[in-house]
Amino acid sequence: MASSSTRSIIPGSKRAAMSNAKAVGAVPVNQQIEVTVRLRSGHDRSALDTQTMSAGQHPANRKILSREEFASKYGASANDIAKIEAFAKQNDLSVTSINRAQRNVVLAGTAAAMTKAFGTTLEQYQHPNGVYRGRVGELTAPDDIVAIIEGVFGLDDRPQATTKFQIRKTGTAKAKAPTADSSFTVPKIAKIYNFPQGADGSGQCIGLIELGGGSRAADIKAYFSGLGITAPKVTIVPVDKAKDKPTTANSADGEVMLDIEVAGAVAPGAAIAVYFAPNTDRGFLDAVTTAINDAVNKPSVISISWGGAEVTWTQQAMTAFEQAFTDAAAMGVTICVAAGDNGSTDGQTNGTQNVDFPASAPHALACGGTSLVVNAAGVATETVWNDGPNSATGGGYSSFFPVPAYQTALGLTSGRGVPDVAGDADPDTGYDVRVDGQDLVIGGTSAVAPLWAGLIALLNQQLGHPIGFLNPLLYGSLQGKGVTTDITTGNNGAQQAGKGWDACTGWGSPNGQALLNALGS
């Protein structure tokens, strides 16, 4: 099965160097590299996209595919896999794994073989936090296989994403009201947001995506013991040779423990599967597709608190993530993603407005942030979280994804609007957590994604079926039923809060019992 001698560009593969990096030399020709080649689906997906975007379909009436059914219908075809195996052999690459459900073929070989196979040049780049192996420009492949390839990930191993958590600094708690709470336990937050009683998430699994850091069993035990809650079962799932590797509290450990503790305190009866992967576009995507297609742990909701401005991603990566989230919707899996912590610029220094990805993917439930104050009388008030450009909720309009069907009634003129919902994220009104032996107060939209994930686990348990893709309902049949509390005060820089949906806090913070009642009717 010889490949064509003529080559074409792999669509969406164009990549630029990091803005703060410079090339410092060639990658050694014998350096060993692994890449994930993502293949097209073995079946037409147009009906899948239409079905998941349907605005009026109640979750109980949706046709949910099991992971096995989905793999059989929409996985990579045997013929396409065979073509990639032949391509690998011709280019002195070895096939180390094949996953039909994830549509992934992993290839390994030297840098010299990889550059020849995909028509690129690999260099080492120096940036403020270290060195990465990188490429610029587009990738190519033989004409007879380029149509079956949807992306090649791993040639470039730059750090792709950042965490979305912020540790409260000592002495900065806000005095918004003389007797205001300045931090909250997770059960207190759940009570404020009227999460349904009598459920603990039993029978559900919450998936957490982590691109660094680690967890400590002693911290998990101490944290939940302090709350008087039985600690959830936590399963570690390594992806692409990554490990659960705790270090210090101000590292990515803060992200990992925040995610486990928030999701677990909301739904302690749910199992928690933590997917650790390298912080690269390949690692991130492989973690997501592993979690979505995990037929062992079977998460019904996945929380992601990592991301980066859309301008830092390749088009092939954003397309692949969105397709994976569409797959999740077809399998009844909800994807909750933090919307970012750097306001309307998303941390970009060129003065432009940006949204964080993968929160901007249309099949993600993008979770923005508020500042929550509860006075002595127990009355809660919320405003948009904004303590400055680098401590404010993300939000705005996608420059890559068009307005999805469920948002057309909003009259948006640019792209997909972010976020969809919100919750307390201000580190000055944050969450009491435990990380590496320290009791800390942490905020950021990183806390909001697992908060919503925990709520969805409770709802799935009580409804007896998965909610799955919630966005069309939020923008459609759930309107007017009080399932969220509208946040009308504040801004995140360029975006202003107002009545109804806005690009700061979406539809607002959750009213859990009202959401259960509305979905149960």
Domain boundaries, the chain: 7-43+75-153, 162-170+200-369+387-408+420-476
Identify the segments of the chain with pLDDT beneath 70: 1-4, 50-51, 53-56, 171-181
Buried b / exposed e over 167-200, threshold 16 CB at 10 Å, is bbeeeebeebeeebbbbbbbebbbebbbbbeebb
What the block records as the tokens of 161 is 């994403």
Terminal Cα distance for the chain, rounded: 56
Q: What pLDDT, on a 0 to 100 scale, did the predictor assign at position 341? A: 97
CA distances from 407 to 56, 314, 395, 509, 511 (A): 13, 25, 15, 18, 21
Pairing of strands 104-110, 94-99: antiparallel
- Torsion sign (Cα): 259, 261, 266, 267: positive
pLDDT of residue 3: 59
- Per-residue confidence (pLDDT) for residue 169, from 0 to 100: 83
Active site residues: 255, 259, 446
Q: What is 162-170+200-369+387-408+420-476's CATH topology?
A: Rossmann fold (3.40.50)
> Which residues are CB-contacts of 119 (< 8 A; sequence separation ≥ 6)?
7, 139, 140, 141
For residue 350, what pLDDT is reported?
Answer: 80
For strands 22-26 and 94-99, give the pairing.
unpaired
What pLDDT is stored for residue 46 in this prediction?
82
Can you give the C-alpha Rg of the chain in angstroms? 22
Q: Is the peptide bond before 450 cis (omega within 30 degrees of 0)?
A: no
**pTM (2 decimals)?**
0.96
Residue 177 confidence (pLDDT): 45
Q: Which residues contact 364 (CB under 8 A, 6 or more apart)?
A: 304, 325, 335, 336, 337, 358
pLDDT for 45: 87
Of 385, 415, 383, nearest to 398 (Cα)?
415
